[in-house]
Amino acid sequence: MSRFFANGSDSESESSEEEVQASNFNKATNFQFSDDEEEVKRVVRSTKEKRYENLTGIIKTIRNHKKIKDIPNTLSSFEDLTRAYTKALPVISKEENGITPRFYIRCLAELEDFINEVWEDREGRKNLSKNNSKSLGTLRQKVRKYIKDFEEDLARFREAPDQESDVEEGDGEAHDSDADRAGADSDDGVCIGVGKLAELPKAAKSVAAKVIADDDDSDDSIDWDSDTESETESSEDENLYQNMRERFLKRTTEKEDKDDDKRKDKRKEQKHKVRKRADDDEDGEWETVVKGNVVEKPKMFEKDAEIDIPLVLAKLVEIMSARGKKRTDRRLQIDLLFELRDISEQHALGTPISVKIHFNIISAIFDYNQKISEPMKLEHWALLLEVMQSMLKLLLANPDINMNENVAEEHEEYGAAPYYIRGCPLAAVERLDDEFTKLLKECDPHSNDYVSRLKDEINVVKTIELVVQYFERCGSNNERCRIYLRKIEHLYYKFDPEVLKRKRGELPAAGTAPSSVEVMDKLCKFIYAKDDTDRIRTRAILAHIYHHAMHDNWFQARDLVLMSHLQDNIDAADPSTRILYNRMMANLGLCAFRQENIKDAHHCLVDLMVTGKPKELLAQGLLPQRQHERSAEQEKIEKQRQMPFHMHINLELLECVYLVSAMLLEIPYIAAHEFDARRRMISKTFYQQLRSSERQSLVGPPESMREHVVAAAKAMRCGNWQACANFIVNKKMNTKVWDLFYESERVREMLVKFIKEESLRTYLFTYSNVYTSISIPSLAQMYELPLPKVHSIISKMIINEELMASLDDPSETVVMHRSEPSRLQALAMQFVDKVTNLVDVNEKVFDMKQGNFFQRGNMGNRDRGYNRNQNNQGGNWGGQRRDNRNQRNRNQRGHHKQQQQQQQQQVQTIEEE
C-alpha cells in the first residue's frame, strides 16, 4: 500500500486530484488488498485487558438485570461471571499478585445485598412468579456458596465501600472517553484521544503518541526512500488503525481537540468535587437513614412543663389512643413508651406508674405484628421477654400493687397504697407462651436456629414461674388453674432420670428438691379440686397420665385412665385436647411395652395405628393430600395445630412396638386356630403386612423395620425362636428403634424372653398332632427356658383348653390327646359353620321385615306373605297351604299365636328354597 494514503496531510496546498483520489478510496470501505500488498489491520491488546473487559461487561449486565428484578437472567449472568473470573485467574495471579480486583468484590457485595433484600421481603417474595421464585432460591444458594472464598475481601470492602481502586478509576475514564467519542462527529481523524490511549496497550500508546508528534512536523522530514523506516511505520500503522476506513478519514481540527479537552477537564473537576465532599462526610458523624418517609419524633412534654402522675397518665393515654388506627407508626409508639418510662423513672413518679407503662409496652409489642398466625420478629421477642420479667419483678417486690383485669380505668389508684392497676399479667404470659410456640414452628427443626430459640424456653419458664408466685399470693382459683396448666404443659413431656433412680433407691429421697413427678402431682391435684371448667381438668389429667407413663408408673397411669373415663367423651373435646389424648395413649402404650404388658400395649396403640395416619393424629406433620381433601384454609389451621419438633414422639419406634406386640399376640393365635372359619384378626395392620409379604414372588433379606418384623413372624410361625430374635434384636434394629428407650438393654432382654415363650406356644399349637408325648426338659433345652417356666406355660394352655393334653409329672412329659379333627372333618365343620351363618343372616332379614308387617296389620301380613310365596319357584301349593292354614286358625288364635305361626312359615320357606 502507498505511504501517501497512509500519511495524508491536512495542508491546503494539496492538489484537487489527490483529494479526488482520496475520496474515491473513502468510498471503497470494504475494499480488500491482496496478500502481497497488505493484511487486515487490527489492534493488539493484552490478555489482561481482554479478561477485564469481559468481566466489566458481565457486571454491567448483572446491574441492569437487578434494576428490573430479572432474577433468572441475573442467575445466568452470575454463572457467566464466575466462568469469566475463572478464565481471568492466571492473569490476576500474574498481574495483581493474586489480589482480587476491587470492582469484582464490589459486584459480589452488591449482588449479596440485593439477594438479601429480596429474600427478607416476604410479601414481595409471595408475589414473585414461579420462575422468579425458583431462580431466587438457586441464586441465593450459589452466591452464598461462592462468596465463601472471598469473605476476607468482602469484609475489607464493607469497611470502606466508597474507596475506589485504580482499575475502577481507569475503567471510569475509559467509559467517559468512549462517551465523548460517541458524541463526536462521525468523520473524526486519526487522532487518538486519552480514553483510546487508556484502552490500548503501553506499546500501542507510545506508537500512537509518536505518530501524532510526527504529524505536527513538516511532511518533508519523512524519508521516502528508507525501506527500514517504511517497515517500522507500516507496523505502527497496523497498531494505530483498527480498520481501513480510519486510514482515509480527516483528522480532527484544533478547535475540536480543545472542546474535548475542556469537557474532560470539566468532568475531572466534578469528580474531584465529589471525592472532596465524600472526604468531608467521612470527617463528620454517621447518620442513620430510616427506610420510607421520615416522621419526626413528637416531643413528649414542653420544656417548662411540670411532670407529675396525671401528666404522664394523660400522655400515656394519648400514645395508646393511636393503637390499632391506620397509618400508626407502631415502632415509634414502642419508642415513645420506652421514653415515657425513662422519664417517669427520672422524676421518681413511683412503681405503679412504671408497672402501668410496662404493661402498655407489652401490649404495643404484641400489636406490632398484625398477623396473628405469623411469629414476631426476634428483636421484639427478646425485648418482650425483658419487659415481661421486669414488670413481674416489680409486682412481686411491691405487694401493695394489685393488677387485675376487673379494675375499671376510672378506679385505678396511683397516689396512695393499696394501688390498683387495670391489666392482666396472666393473659400477657399466655400470649407470650403462644408466641414462643409459633417461633419454634417457624424454624427449621434441624438447624441451629431451632436450638437457639429452644434455649429461650428457660426464660419463658422463669416468666411463668414469676406469674405463678404472683397469683399464688393474690389470685383467684380460676387464674391459678390457668397458670398451673401453662406450667404443666412445659413440664409433662420432659423425662427426669432421677425419678427412676429414686424409685430403685440409688438416690436418697429426703433432703433433695422435689422431683418432676411430685411437682406434677401437686399442680394436677389442685386443678382436680378447684377447677370449674372441664377443659383445664381434662388437659391436666392427660398431662398427668403422660408424665406417669414417661417414668414407668404404669399402674398409676392406667388407673387414672380408667377412673377418668376420658375415652367415653374425648370425641366432644376441642382438637388440641384430642391431640393431647392421642399423645397420651401413644406414650401409655410404650410404657406398657416397657413394663412387659404386651396386650395392654397393643390395645393402647391399635386405635392410632389402624387408621394409617399416626403422624396427623399426633400433630407431627401433614400427609400429602389426595384429591384436595383439605382446602387451603383447613391446611393453614392444621399447620397451626402442629406440635414443636422437640415434643415429637418417634413414629418408627411407635410402629415397631405396635407390630412386635401384634406379632407376639397374632402368631400363636393363628397357629391355634388354623382351621377355624370364625378366626378373627387381632391386628389388621400386622395381618396386611404379613399377607403382602406372602404375595411377593421373591422375598429378599429384610431392610426396613417392617420387613424385619415380618421375617421374625415367619420364623416364629415355625417355632424357630433364635431366627426370630435375630431379626428383632440386631445392630440395625438397635440403632433405629431399641436404643431410643431408656435402659435399652433391659428392653432387649425382655423382648428375647417373650419371643422364647411365644415361640414355644406356637410350636406346641403347630406340631401337637405329630407327637404322642413331648419331654418337658427337652422343650426347656430347645427354647433355653427354665423348667418351671415351661411347666407353667403348658399348664396354662391346658387349663384354658388351648392344648388337648395332660401332664405326666413322674416322667416329666406332656401326653397329647388325639382329639383334633382330620382335614376332612375340619372342612366339614367349616361348611357347617358357613351354612349356619347363612341361616342366621336370613332369619335376621325376615325378622326385620316381619316387624314392618305387624305395624301394617294382619291383612297386610297375609297379602305380603301370599305375594312373596307366589314368586317362589316351588309353585302355588306352598302359598295355598299357608293361606288355608291362616284362614283356619285366624279366629282361634290370638296375636301371640299368630306371631309363632309366621316364624314357622319362614323356616318352612327356607327349607323349600
Tell me: the pLDDT tens digits for 598-639? Answer: 999 999 999 898 888 889 899 888 877 766 667 778 888 888
Residue 717 contacts residue 667 (beta carbons within 8 Å): yes
Give the CA count within 13 Å in the CB-facing half-sphere of 617: 19
For residue 453, give the nearest of 464, 467, 465, 442 by alpha carbon: 442
Give first-to-last CA distance, the chain, whole Å. 123
Q: Provide mean pLDDT across the span 35-63.
A: 75
Helices and strands, counts by H and E, the chain: 43, 5
Query: Edge-to-edge strands of the sheet including 813-816?
Result: 773-775, 813-816, 805-808
pLDDT value of residue 213: 39
Domain 650-816 top-level CATH class: mainly alpha
Residue 902 contacts residue 850 (beta carbons within 8 Å): yes
For residue 791, give the nearest of 770, 773, 772, 814 by alpha carbon: 814
- Nearby residues of 25 by Cβ (< 8 Å), 6 or more positions away: 5, 31, 248
Q: In the predicted model, is pLDDT for residue 507 greater than 70?
A: yes
> What does the alpha-carbon distance between residue 495 and residue 492 come to, in Å, rounded to a whole number?
8
In the chain, the amino acid numbered 478 is N
Q: Provide mean pLDDT across the span 450-469.
A: 93
- Model-level pTM? 0.60
For residue 725, give the nearest of 751, 702, 704, 744 by alpha carbon: 751
> What does the alpha-carbon distance between residue 176 and residue 159 come to, in Å, rounded to a whole number?
28
Q: Provide mean pLDDT across the span 26-45.
A: 50
Q: In the predicted model, is pLDDT for residue 180 greater than 50?
A: no
> What does the alpha-carbon distance between residue 813 and residue 515 come to, in Å, rounded to a whole number?
53
Residue 716 contacts residue 724 (beta carbons within 8 Å): yes
To the nearest whole number, what is the mean pLDDT of the chain?
77
More confident call, 200 vs 391:
391
pLDDT value of residue 249: 55
DSSP at 219:
G
DSSP at 223:
-
Task: Cell numbers for 844, please give them.
Answer: 335376621
Cα distances (Å, whole numbers) of residue 528 to 132, 476, 533, 542, 544: 57, 15, 10, 12, 11
% of the chain residues with pLDDT over 90 = 30
> What does the alpha-carbon distance between residue 709 and residue 727 come to, in Å, rounded to a whole number?
7
- Predicted confidence band at 355 (pLDDT cuts at 50, 70, 90)? very high
- Predicted confidence band at 556 (pLDDT cuts at 50, 70, 90)? very high
pLDDT value of residue 866: 39
Q: Provide mean pLDDT across the span 701-721.
A: 89
For residue 660, give the nearest of 711, 610, 616 by alpha carbon: 711
- Burial call 18-53: b when 16+ CB within 10 Å, e when fewer: eeeebeebeeeeeeeeeeeebeebeeeeeebeebbe
- Predicted confidence band at 719 (pLDDT cuts at 50, 70, 90)? confident
For residue 542, give the nearest of 609, 511, 588, 510 by alpha carbon: 588
Q: In the predicted model, is pLDDT for residue 31 greater than 90?
A: no
- Predicted confidence band at 524 (pLDDT cuts at 50, 70, 90)? very high
Say if strands 401-404 and 419-422 run parallel, antiparallel, or are unpaired.
parallel
Give the CA count within 13 Å in the CB-facing half-sphere of 92: 17
Q: In the predicted model, is pLDDT for residue 386 greater than 50?
A: yes
Q: What backbone phi and psi angles, to 5 degrees, belong to 401?
A: -100, 120
Say if strands 805-808 and 813-816 run parallel, antiparallel, or are unpaired.
antiparallel
For residue 516, give the nearest of 492, 536, 487, 535 by alpha carbon: 492
- Predicted confidence band at 844 (pLDDT cuts at 50, 70, 90)? confident
Residue 585 contacts residue 604 (beta carbons within 8 Å): yes
Question: What are the residue ranges spanned by the domains of the chain?
Answer: 47-159, 306-465, 650-816
Q: In the predicted model, is pLDDT for residue 874 greater than 80?
A: no
> What does the alpha-carbon distance between residue 746 and residue 731 come to, in Å, rounded to a whole number?
16
